[in-house]
Amino acid sequence: MSDHNKPLQLSRRDFLRVFGGLAAGGVAASILIPQPRFPRVLPPGAILPAESFRAACNGCGKCVAVCPHNALRQNMFAAPYLDGLSGWCDLCMICVHACPTGALVLPAEPLKTKLALAVIDRNQCIAWVATGCRFCYEKCVTLQNAITIDEDYRPYVDEQLCNGCGACVNVCPRPDKVTRDLRTGKAVALKAIPHDR
């Protein structure tokens, strides 16, 4: 389990009792901390060895164009990726079938594909720094049921259950924007995971 998703021992009530007046200062400071950025998450079906995928993908963008959920985007080198900001992936594999070069390959068990891991940034998450948000939890309940909430309604991601679909990122109400000094971001992001290639 990554440090980002580890449960804490203290409840919010305990935390406030212990740290009292420091809480407000902590929240103010956290606004200045940029969201961790992770390497790009590749589309479903990118199961070739990384070098082979890069050699096979010609950046045509057909996978991006056919996705019914607008889940895929292209980077500045035209390489497709998934980040949950524009949409999320339901593993329909339409993009795989649309790929004309063989860069994307149909996995043996498409619905068991693990794309990435969702990681919650507790410095940005509304439920962690204040209270009142559980959009990601309510969305994931209908999908992988990978997010649990504690008695103070703070979310945790189960790394075994999460398939990296990006739906939690998509519904997270924190804005994703780049300011002059730093990049703030959604409170949950997709982290690429090593694949058995």
Which spans of this chain sit near ligand SF4 (rule: CB under 6 A)?
43-44, 67, 69, 71-72, 89-95, 118, 120, 125-127, 133-136, 139-140, 143-144, 146-147, 155, 157, 162-168, 172, 174, 187-188
Q: Least distance in Å: CB of 116 to ligand SF4?
A: 7
Q: Give the side-chain half-sphere CA count within 13 A for 105.
A: 12
Cα–Cα distance for residue pair 47/52, rounded to 1 Å: 9
Q: Least distance in Å: CB of 159 to ligand SF4?
A: 9
Distance (Å) of CA 50 to CA 41, 56, 76, 104, 167: 12, 10, 18, 11, 25
Name the DSSP class of 33.
Answer: S
Nearer to ligand SF4 (CB atom), residue 43 or residue 48 = 43
Nearer to ligand SF4 (CB atom), residue 23 or residue 126 = 126
Question: Strands 155-157 and 147-149, how do they pair?
Answer: antiparallel
Nearer to ligand SF4 (CB atom), residue 47 or residue 133 = 133
Nearer to ligand SF4 (CB atom), residue 21 or residue 61 = 61
